[in-house]
Chain A
Amino acid sequence: MRRWLPFEIGRRGFLGAGLLAAAAAAASGRSASGQPAGHSGHGNMAPSPDGAAVPAHRLAHGAMITVGDVDDARNGFDPTAMLTDWELGEVSTLPDGRRLRTFEVFVEDKEIEIAPGVMFPAWTYNGRVPGPALRAVEGESLRIVFRNYGSHPHSMHFHGIHSARMDGIPGAGLIGPGEEFVYEFDAKPFGCHLYHCHALPLARHIHKGMYGLFVVDPDPALHPDMADVARSRLLGTPENARWQEMAMVMNAFDTTFDGENEFYACNTIAHCYAKKPIRVEKHRPVRIYLANVTEFDPINSFHLHANFFDYFDQGTTLTPTLKTVDLIIQCQAQRGILEFSFADHEAGLYMFHAHQSEFTELGWMGMFDVVEAVS
């Protein structure tokens, strides 16, 4: 008898479908949508209770999305604001005339809501995941005052050029709880970089939320051949003001700590830009500083719908390393700059997501709401 039980059965039956199975299928086949019997028909299964109130994004993915909204105020960070919330630090001038840029970063253990109703015990830089998007200019002298208010040893390991003493690995800037360290190095090379904690075990520290963008804008004076391009990348110039720049970090969360992620996202909150599409003015070009810090999966990817972009791998060049693509892949800690324009497009919702369907369906997808002009 026990082989009949629902939990020990192999697929399908024994000697073909019997009288009952056929009867059951026939009975259930009488669907309102008039689908043929014997084939379970699904009509429009998720009708909106109020047809008029369907948000536009809802049309794009139907019922396949997380339920509810994340409390951004409780988290203390808002994924939409995070797109443009660059951390510029304090700028002063050194005796030798060089510019000194000082950042202050602290570590805090913090429970954050990574998807509606799902809490994650994160380790954060400045109380947010990803950590602050630090932005400097090529050639500046940098000081990062780092304080560890967390419960474990932590560090900031910058992807950049610096001395061994400043590397943020054990013995070189890795500090215990309650301690402070100042990282000092020059901002080079220009590009789209990142920093992350290099305490051990590495995977756990990174996965818990200890990472952020570290963008170094090119100094136009150092690139006379392409000064215009360099200026467009330099935050604060009129050339740069045309661009709609965004900071995006592709990350994921393993809420069961079994080495497999339950939630994928761009900027932490699953489906955040699907539910609140990113407003894009169609006549202004878009530049995305994109990094992948997803743990446990070897790669992540970025796919833009209905459009193509130029890609600058690691952002260390002023000419694209890949021209006219609609998909790039990044391994862990890989990053780059995407440049594209919707100038010739109709206004509307344009999707973007990882092109690993699994990541997409577990939260990493969003929409650009391309409009004529942001009012």
Chain B
Amino acid sequence: MNEHVPASAVKAEPRNLLLSAALLLAPLVLLAAAIWWLVATDPLSAFRNGAPPVESLTVERTVLDNGGLRVLVRAGGSEPMRIAQVQVDAAYWEFVQSPPGPIARGSTAWIAIPFPWVVGEGHSVTFVTNTGATFDHPIPVAVATPVPTSGNLVAQAILGAFVGILPVVVGLAFYPALRNAGPRVMDFLLALTIGLLGFLLVDTLEDAFEFAGAAAAIFQGPTMVLLTAAASFLLLMAVARRGGAPTGVALAFYIALGIGLHNLGEGLAIGAAFAAGAAGLGTFLVIGFTLHNITEGIGIAAPILKVRPPLRVFALLALLAGGPAVIGMWLGSLAYAPHWSALALSIGAGAVLQVIVEVVALLARGEHGRARLASPAVLAGLAAGVTFMYATAMLVKI
């Protein structure tokens, strides 16, 4: 009897649909009405105290070439902003803005100034808006912004390979020597990997926050970094755990991916330093980076010591972990906006966190998992990983 559906209920269905549509629309209508009321009656006029609009201008890219200076600015004011005049080194210069006119909140415009900049010296650009507010943009050391010519790209690729790929290859080359490692050495190596990844996580986040600080306020830098890192972590966890916790080659792949994303950020930073004229990169510094990154290769090798994959897997792992340094250097040297760098680094941070979790999970697996985590081999490995990274980082911090 209960299974019998009354005819009236069937008929009522379209009406229910209409009703739910109306109910769904009601809050939106309320919002629209409130906005209409706000615009139409202007109850906020009491707050209009004659103060000028809040203005904010962020410089995202600076390009120096034979035509002078070109600067990409992003407006973040409470109202569209007008750049009325531009000073370079406390002198007014003609400039061309494209697109011309007021710059809406969140929008960008290029400012081209035919300024005869001096290579190797500092300059300062000041934007004066129509309200007389000024925004300073220092150029600490003026050098021509690298242009993507084949010569430049090759030079950057070589440098990227030294900083990213070579150390991973060297680290992976320890594989044959470590292949016969006993369980203690295995634990030590896996813990070493966790230690180095922990260092990378902190380093990557720090860099991400630094870039985020230079980005326009509209991007809410720190929030963006944390949310992106969390999203990247969760996404990678979800993908990696589809077929259970990753081990062996799969785990090595994820470690390589995390390290690769970190190296992308490293490349971005080095490239950006070139674009800003900051880096006269010495040989010593390149060697420092290479040493610093060698443990990355050992970390990637650790989960596959008992697996013996074919040689091409090693090649792919090295490319995945080190190659992004080259790409990062290319992108970074073109002086892209800081929020892109922050975004890339946050994704890297999430990926690094994911592999930390997976390697810890690998260690904790088995009968004495918990006890194993606190074993002398593991603790020594953690300490060795962090210490090695910290000590070799001293070579590259200026």
Contact = CB atoms under 8 A, between A and B. Distances in A.
B300 interface: no
A19 B273 contact: no
Nearest to A40: B119
B152 A24 contact: yes
B141 A11 contact: yes
B340 to A, nearest CB: 14
B283 A18 contact: yes
B279 A118 contact: no
Contacts of B210: 2, 5, 7
A363 B92 contact: yes
Interface stretch (B132-140, B175-183, B228-236): B132-140
Given A20-B156, A27-B149, A262-B134, A9 B281 contact: no
A48 B175 CA distance: 65
A109 to B, nearest CB: 10
B269 A116 contact: no
A310 B61 CA distance: 52
B84 A26 contact: no
Contacts of A14: 279-282, 284-285, 398
Interface string A21-62: 101111111011100001111110110000000000000000
B68 A27 contact: no
A361 B90 contact: yes
Contacts of B84: 68, 115-118
Contacts of A39: 119
A362 B116 CA distance: 17
Nearest to B68: A45
B92 A64 contact: yes
A255 B152 contact: no
A66 B113 CA distance: 12
A91 interface: no
A88 interface: no
B280 A28 contact: no
A67 B159 contact: no
B225 to A, nearest CB: 14
A13 B66 contact: no
Contact of A15 (B128, B141, B152, B280): B280
Interface residues of A, number: 60
B211 interface: yes
Contacts of A11: 122, 140-141
B231 to A, nearest CB: 23
A325 interface: no
Given A5-B269, A14-B398, A19-B281, A45 B143 contact: no
A116 B85 CA distance: 8
Residue from B134, B206, B266 with most neighbouring chain A CB atoms (10 Å): B134
B276 A64 contact: no
B87 A40 contact: no
A374 interface: no
A3 interface: yes
B66 A6 contact: no
Contact of B93 (A10, A28, A32, A63): A63
A300 to B, nearest CB: 16
Contacts, number: 221
Given A24-B274, A31-B66, A40-B64, A3 B280 contact: no
B141 A12 contact: yes
Contacts of A253: 132
Interface string B155-184: 110110000000000000000000000000
Nearest to B139: A6
Contacts of A362: 87, 90-92
B117 A4 contact: no
B91 A262 contact: no
Residue from A20, A256, A358, A361 with most neighbouring chain B CB atoms (10 Å): A20
B93 A64 contact: yes
A106 interface: no
B322 interface: no
Contacts of B270: 4
Contact of A45 (B90, B116, B130, B142): B116
B90 A21 contact: no
Given A1-B269, A14-B398, A262-B132, A117 B82 contact: yes
A67 B280 CA distance: 37
A19 B397 contact: no
A367 B159 CA distance: 54
A68 B91 CA distance: 15
A38 B120 CA distance: 11
A224 interface: no
A3 B398 contact: yes
A358 B86 CA distance: 14
A28 B146 contact: yes
Interface string A346-363: 000000000000100111
Given A45-B66, A256-B133, A361-B90, A13 B280 contact: yes
A18 B85 contact: no
B63 to A, nearest CB: 11
Contacts of A64: 91-94
B144 interface: yes
A1 B133 CA distance: 34
Given A12-B280, A24-B152, A361-B90, A120 B273 contact: no
A5 B118 CA distance: 21
Nearest to B141: A11
Contact of B269 (A4, A45, A65): A4
A20 B397 CA distance: 19
B66 A118 contact: no
A253 B134 CA distance: 13
B122 A115 contact: no
Contact of A271 (B92, B214, B286, B396): B92
A27 B151 contact: yes
Contacts of A116: 84-85
Given A2-B206, A115-B84, 8 more contacts: A1-B265, A14-B282, A19-B158, A20-B274, A20-B279, A21-B143, A23-B155, A42-B66
The 3 A-B residue pairs whose C-beta atoms are closest, nearest first, are A13-B280, A255-B132, A15-B282
21 contacts: A1-B207, A1-B265, A1-B396, A4-B398, A6-B273, A11-B141, A13-B280, A13-B281, A14-B284, A15-B280, A18-B286, A23-B151, A24-B152, A40-B119, A65-B94, A67-B85, A68-B84, A115-B84, A253-B132, A255-B128, A262-B132
Interface of A: 1-7, 9-21, 23-29, 31-33, 38-43, 45-46, 63-68, 115-120, 253, 255-256, 262, 270-271, 358, 361-363
Interface of B: 64-68, 82, 84-87, 90-95, 113-120, 122, 128-134, 140-147, 149, 151-152, 155-156, 158-159, 203, 206-207, 210-211, 214, 265-266, 269-270, 272-276, 278-286, 333, 396-398
